[in-house]
Amino acid sequence: MESTLQKNKIEELKFRDTAKFKLTVITALLIIMVIAFFLGNIMGTANITVSDVINTIKGDHTSMYGKIIWNIRLPRMILAGLVGINLALSGSILQGVMKNPLADPGIIGISSGAGLFGIFILVVMPQHQNLVPIFAFMGAMLAAGIIYSLAWKGGIEPTRIVLAGVAVSTLFSAGISGTMVFYSDRVHGALTFMNGSLSSRSWGEVSVILPYTIIGFIVAMLFSNKMNILILGDDVARGLGLNVELTRFFFTALAALLAASAVSAVGLLGFVGLIVPHSIRLIMGNDYRYMFPATALLGAGLVMLSDTFARTVLSPTEIPVGIVMAVLGVPFFLYLLRR
């Protein structure tokens, strides 16, 4: 009996390693994302149907429901999906580069660096809001550089990265608080930014983040094999001809760019980059050729569902989606920490 169970377990593990299984998972995640997209568009005070959403997408923007969908719900759901993709991909990359399942743009301080520079523009130079993505990327790269310098000691060790990230995150968070104290008359927009919110977001934010999402996803897929080599360990990767430090810097910059673009669009939204990649890894393993698209789809669906819940659960009062993600993410983080 025991040998039969072991044999079945081995067969199950073999099937999970096949391309057929991984493509099935990706297809299922695509269906979940599409369902989340339509739920986000139809749920709310207005009695909107799936056919209304489809007609609006086809070009009917003149009806009452068409105007609601086109001007409010459709761009919000698209933005939620793009933010979810960027944060999930960023977390997936960081966990691979740093060899740490606890790595996440928010936890290790990259989002805080982007947030500090973004808030600086919002409250000190609000007339130059178009510079937020650029400054957010600069802040994210600065945070990543500091974390690397603090954690490096003859190599990268996962515990040192988490500790350095917590320290850097605390430092930048203090900088955010200080900026808000000195410019207390302008903190309303900053408070929304701090909590991560999709409220009042429209096509402008979609147009800002969309190029980063497309470029980031394509680049991640093109170099997914290099990530597969990198996670084998530095010595093995060097033996296979990979420039380890250059590759690690390249992927860190890509993760910072993805996280910074998401922060510039909706503010500080945490835990997406922690929950999603780890969940995908548990289901389908570490092959980044399949992990990147699966992570992107699950990230998009999760943020869309979370935002729909945040918008409707206490309607007409709206909860920032960042609060919902924190409620989901903290128990998950503690679970990983226990493991």
Q: Locate 285 and state its tokens.
A: 């393993």
**Residue 153: Cβ within 10 Å count:** 8
Q: Residue 209, CB half-sphere, CA atoms under 13 Å: how many? A: 29
Average pLDDT, stretch 100-106? 79
Report which of residues 78 and 249 the model is more confident about.
78
Average pLDDT, stretch 17-24? 86
Contact 137, 260 (CB under 8 A): yes
- CB burial of 72-83 (b: ≥16 within 10 Å; e: otherwise) equals bbbbbbbbbbbb
- The number of helices, as runs of H, and strands, as runs of E, in the chain is 16, 0
Q: Locate 53 and state its tokens.
A: 């959403």
d(CA 207, CA 157): 38
pLDDT tens for 140-170 read: 888 888 887 887 776 666 677 778 888 888 8
Q: What percentage of the chain reaches a pLDDT higher than 90?
A: 27
Q: Per-residue pLDDT for 322 more than 60?
A: yes
Q: Locate 20 and state its tokens.
A: 């057929």
pLDDT tens for 243-301 read: 888 888 889 889 888 988 888 888 888 889 888 998 898 888 889 999 999 999 999 99
Report which of residues 55 and 334 the model is more confident about.
55
Contact 176, 115 (CB under 8 A): yes
Amino acid at 260: A
What confidence tier does 14 reach under pLDDT thresholds 50, 70, 90? low
Report the predicted TM-score, pTM, of the whole model to 2 decimal places: 0.88
Average pLDDT, stretch 181-208? 78
The pLDDT of residue 7: 58
The pLDDT of residue 308: 92
The pLDDT of residue 4: 59
The pLDDT of residue 220: 95
d(CA 105, CA 90): 7
